[in-house]
Structure 1
Amino acid sequence: MAKVIVFFAHPRPHRSEVNLPLFETARSIKEITTVDLYADYPDFSIDIDREQDRLRAHDVVVFQHPLYWYSAPAIMKEWQDLVLEHGFAYGHAGKALHGKVFLNAVTTGAKPDAYSQTGMNHAELRSLLGPFEKTADLCGMRYLAPFALFGAGRALEENRFEAHRHAYGKLLNALVRDQLDLAKAAAAPVLPDDLDAFLLAGETV
C-alpha cells in the first residue's frame, strides 16, 4: 500500500461545480490524506515544517487544481516556493523527495483539441505543465502524466462529469494499492478516464 496525499487548491471552492466534488472523492478514500491549502492557509502563512513532514510521510503527491493561466492557483506556487527548500527537496543534501511519485489532477476551461500544436494553445497540456515536471525531476520524483477534465465548465451539462469523477477515484485507489503501471503513466501525454490500459496486468480497481 502506498501513502497518497492530495493537495487541493481552489480560491473559490463554493463556486466550483467540479473541483470541489472531485476533492470530496479524494476525501472519501480513507487511506488518502487530503489537504485544502486555501482552507489551511487563508492568509498564505504556510507552515513549512508541517508541510515538509507531510511530504516525508507520503509516497505519492497529487496536486489537484484548476488550470489558471497555464499553471495553478497562487497558493500552490507559494507552497512550492516555501516548502521545496534547498537542502530538503533538492541540492546535495536535499534527498527527502527522492523516489516519490507526483502528478497534477487538473480541470481546464478549453476542450482537448485546444491542447495541441495546431490548437488554440499551440502546445499539449503536459508541455504547458512543464514547470511542475521539471520541479519533480529536480527533486528526484517520478512525474506521471496529468489527469485532466477538459472543458470543465460544460462537463455537467454534457453529462461527462460523473464518469470523470469515477475515474479519479479509480486512479487514486490504484495509486494507493500500487496497481498503476507507473512506467506507462509516466510516458503518456495525459491519463484518460478509461484507465484499464494503465493498470498492472491482472489488476482491477
Structure 2
Amino acid sequence: VVEWNDYIMTKVHERRGGDGQDLVSLVVNAEWEGQRLSDIDVMFETMLVLVGGDETTRHVISGGVAALLQHPDQMARLRSDPPLLPTAIEEMLRWSTPVRNMNRTATTDVDVNGMRIREGDRVLLLYPSANRDERVFADPHRFDVGRTPNEHVAFGAYGRHHCLGAPLARLELRIMFEELLRRLDHIELDTDHIPWRRGNFVLGPNSVPVTFTAR
C-alpha cells in the first residue's frame, strides 16, 4: 500500500494541470462546482478502481466455482442449459457478495424497522445480510442458478452509488464461466475445507483446490 501511494502521488503531480485523457489525468483535473479533488482524494479513488477492478471479481469467480462444485445438481443444470449462464452469474454474485459492507451518511431523517436514523448519522450497510433477506428472496440460503427475480445488492444500491464496474464484472464472469464449462469436462473439489481470507470489507476464498479433466 505504501509503495502504491508513493507511485500514485508521483503520477498525480505529473498530471495535475495537464490535458491527458488517461484515467488519473481525468480524475486529477475534474472539477465539480469549482472544486477539484485533493491529492489524498485521488489516491483513494485510484485505489478503489484498482481493488474494485480485480479483487472483487476474483472472489466471485472462486466463490462461484466453489458454489457450483458444492451443488453438483446446479452445475449439471447449468451445463445442460448454457443460456442460463447470465442468470447463474447473478446468483453467484448474490451468493458470494465479496464486498461485505459500506459506510453511508443519511441525508434525511428516516425510520427503518422502528429505528430512527437522523440526517448526518453514519450507517453501516451489510450487503450479505441484505442478500439473504427472506422478505426479498425465496429460500435465500439455497444456491439456485435459475433464481429469478434476483434483486441482489452485490454491486451496492441502485442509483448514484451503484458500482461503476458492474458491466465489466458481469462480462468478465460470463467469459470466465463460458470457458470453464467449455474446456473442463469434469471438475470437482479437491478439499473438504475452502480457506477464506480474513477481513471485514472484501472477503473470498484464498484458494479453491480442484481436480479436472480437460476436453
What TM-score, normalized to structure 2?
A: 0.27
What TM-score, normalized to structure 1?
A: 0.28
Larger Rg: 2
